[in-house]
A and B are shown apart, each in its own frame.
Chain A
């Protein structure tokens, strides 16, 4: 009998451990209960297609814990980067700060979780974070099969290549036979393969787990080429031993619309994140900045601006937000142009041109937001 027990027990422990691990990957404990109730109510009332306004929306969870849990990168200057005091800044960080302003009126009510490229989706799916704002490319598969929803584009990007100036390469089409370093688990990996295959060029891929180590491998000479989104190249170049010795090639080999991501199925939360972004773009178009927003609110006669800032109407109520939600976003975080200039504009080390990310009303720009009405 004793020998039987010792045989059975490990099986039990292993089975339980695997089960627990799998559940932990998919759900945090508090949500397991919540989701369970949703499932059972859905079973009782047949043909319920989507769980609308069930007992625990992301907004309510966020309100009850008092902050937003925001997934960011482990450090891309200009997008999400922590200084030596642990203060985060960047375009993606500001996307989360804007949502916090809309809900709480306070941009500081955000906690950040640094994630590597391969950890990010699991963290969002499992409910570890509420928003994933981590230079993530909007693709069909990610939108359709990962249980995620993309909200809005906060940066139009494209993949490029960086090489040493001393190599004398002028175009990406001269890269046949090179060794290419990149980070693991990104669309970059696939685009790179497509590009070299399309142009019948051979290459040696070196795919490193984390961006910093991929960059270190490039810097040490393991690779001739470093590839990622062009914004990322500009950001990472500032970290190299001698940034001026490296050049970003002119070709852009892919479309990389980057933006915040939320879990699929909570439409209200998705709308809040989407419109926090759209408000910033609309504000820039209307000429409202963080500096003049207070004055504009009291003086303006423009009905569109009045509507946006909640002067004589309360659009916020439709998303269970305060009436001055848009005002708070602009006052605390600024309009899209301010966010861009502050984080990646020409006055910063990243030094990116506005390019595609200029407003649609400017030459070359495609940044466009639906009207607030």
Chain B
């Protein structure tokens, strides 16, 4: 039979679906077998070498200090807690980096498109320079070059109650006194009021077409109401001021140079890439759209906000996701300049003190994997929300 259009018979193997299924099962079997082989090989080798395994070390005291800890941590705490401290440090630097890089990227992307010759050239120089220098080098630059330029603690620069020296930026530390609960209540109240205002303004606009500056008003509401409650409670905040002592500055809050250097390097480097993405996104929107908007009588800022930007975002978001992922992963370079993030604390100190290479490296892979996946999932959701809705 040479007629291809009708199946010769109902042979199991001739069905495309069945064949695909068989290959799937075969592949799965190979993967499972390979995984089992590697795992048992690993176990046998570890036993032979007398290398202990497992995560029991997580409950043992770590014994080493960590420079930056946003939760309570001392040398007497466990490796498990040290891991959490490092995790938080990685999250904080990634999140702040992403926010700053986005702001820098949008400003620089728009600046490069500016009609002002100087602004456009400056943005070009910034983007082309930072994109072409390795990030690690930039971190070293921000860390060592800036440190070298700053004075020793005893000769700190002083502005009001702020101090700046080689050991960081010191600010007064606000300490809540009795009655601060009332202020928190006021703050929550102001947020509720703002949300109601925004909802009302939107409804009114749909109904009557009248426009109300809801966002600026909410900002005023939040600041205003919180301040009123602060005054009612009698300003229940005291400030712990930084004082110069024999070696360092004591008291106050400090932003260590390690943190500043990593944050600046990450956000300016990734910002340069984001700037190009923003520029591409805006250029992708046809000029006709702007002309059409103008002919409808929309003002320039409204044209940008309501017509150009929503269309540009569709082009911007997918590559932006990659940049966010890069930034989160690049935060691991902070280990090189003593920022105590995941790689420094877990793959550096913990691995070396316990010797549990497989456990610690596996854990770090898991964390970076989940961090990247969550960013990806969030951005995909946002992308879907922003994409053209076809009716």
Do residues B49 and A264 form an inter-chain contact, with CB atoms below 8 A?
yes
Q: Is B286 at the interface (CB under 8 A from chain A)?
A: no
Q: Is B166 at the interface (CB under 8 A from chain A)?
A: yes
With A145-B51, A177-B250, A265-B50 as contacts: A222 and B166 at CB distance below 8 Å: yes
Q: Is A252 at the interface (CB under 8 A from chain B)?
A: no
Do residues A145 and B20 form an inter-chain contact, with CB atoms below 8 A?
no
B257 CB to nearest chain A CB (Å): 7
With A22-B358, A179-B248, A222-B257 as contacts: A125 and B49 at CB distance below 8 Å: yes
Taking CB atoms, residues of chain A closer than 8 Å to B258 are 206
A364 CB to nearest chain B CB (Å): 31
A87 to B50, CA, bound (A): 35
Do residues B52 and A179 form an inter-chain contact, with CB atoms below 8 A?
no
A149 to B250, CA, bound (A): 45
Do residues B349 and A184 form an inter-chain contact, with CB atoms below 8 A?
yes
Do residues A146 and B355 form an inter-chain contact, with CB atoms below 8 A?
yes
A269 to B338, CA, bound (A): 38
A44 to B172, CA, bound (A): 71
> Among B32-40, B118-126, B292-300, B321-329, which stretch is in contact with chain A?
B32-40
With A190-B64, A208-B338 as contacts: A22 and B38 at CB distance below 8 Å: yes
Taking CB atoms, residues of chain B closer than 8 Å to A305 are none
Do residues A205 and B44 form an inter-chain contact, with CB atoms below 8 A?
no
With A16-B34, A36-B44 as contacts: A146 and B65 at CB distance below 8 Å: no
Q: Is B67 at the interface (CB under 8 A from chain A)?
A: yes
A193 to B347, CA, bound (A): 19
Do residues A15 and B20 form an inter-chain contact, with CB atoms below 8 A?
no
Q: Is B344 at the interface (CB under 8 A from chain A)?
A: yes
A36 to B17, CA, bound (A): 40
Instruction: Tell which of B24, B45, B344, B361 touches A8, judged by Cβ atoms closer than 8 Å.
Output: B24
Q: Is A292 at the interface (CB under 8 A from chain B)?
A: no
A176 CB to nearest chain B CB (Å): 8
Do residues B336 and A125 form an inter-chain contact, with CB atoms below 8 A?
no
A193 to B21, CA, bound (A): 59
A189 CB to nearest chain B CB (Å): 5
A263 to B44, CA, bound (A): 16
A26 to B17, CA, bound (A): 41
Q: Is B152 at the interface (CB under 8 A from chain A)?
A: yes
Q: Count residues of chain A with CB under 8 A from any CB of chain B.
A: 66
B78 CB to nearest chain A CB (Å): 14
Q: Is B189 at the interface (CB under 8 A from chain A)?
A: no
Taking CB atoms, residues of chain A closer than 8 Å to B248 are 177-179, 204, 224
Instruction: Tell which of B21, B28, B335 touches A209, judged by Cβ atoms closer than 8 Å.
Output: B335
Contact mask for chain A residues 257-298; partner B; CB cutoff 8 A; 1 contact, 0 none: 000000111000000000000000000000000000000000
A121 to B39, CA, bound (A): 21
Taking CB atoms, residues of chain A closer than 8 Å to B337 are 208-209, 213, 217
A279 CB to nearest chain B CB (Å): 28
Q: Is A313 at the interface (CB under 8 A from chain B)?
A: no
A189 to B344, CA, bound (A): 13
Q: Is B247 at the interface (CB under 8 A from chain A)?
A: yes
Do residues B167 and A145 form an inter-chain contact, with CB atoms below 8 A?
no
Which residues in chain A, 189-219, are within 8 Å of chain B measured between CB atoms? 189-190, 192-194, 197, 203-210, 213-214, 216-217
A205 to B344, CA, bound (A): 13
Q: Is A35 at the interface (CB under 8 A from chain B)?
A: yes
Q: List 10 A-B contacts (CB under 8 A).
A: A9-B27, A19-B35, A19-B38, A20-B38, A22-B38, A208-B336, A209-B337, A213-B338, A263-B49, A264-B49
Given contacts A185-B352, A208-B336, 20 further A-B contacts (CB under 8 A): A1-B21, A8-B28, A18-B365, A19-B34, A19-B39, A22-B38, A36-B41, A51-B48, A118-B348, A121-B352, A147-B51, A184-B349, A190-B64, A204-B167, A204-B248, A209-B344, A216-B144, A220-B166, A263-B49, A265-B50
9 nearest A-B pairs in the assembled complex, by CB-CB distance: A185-B352, A147-B49, A147-B51, A146-B355, A19-B38, A205-B65, A193-B75, A1-B20, A39-B44
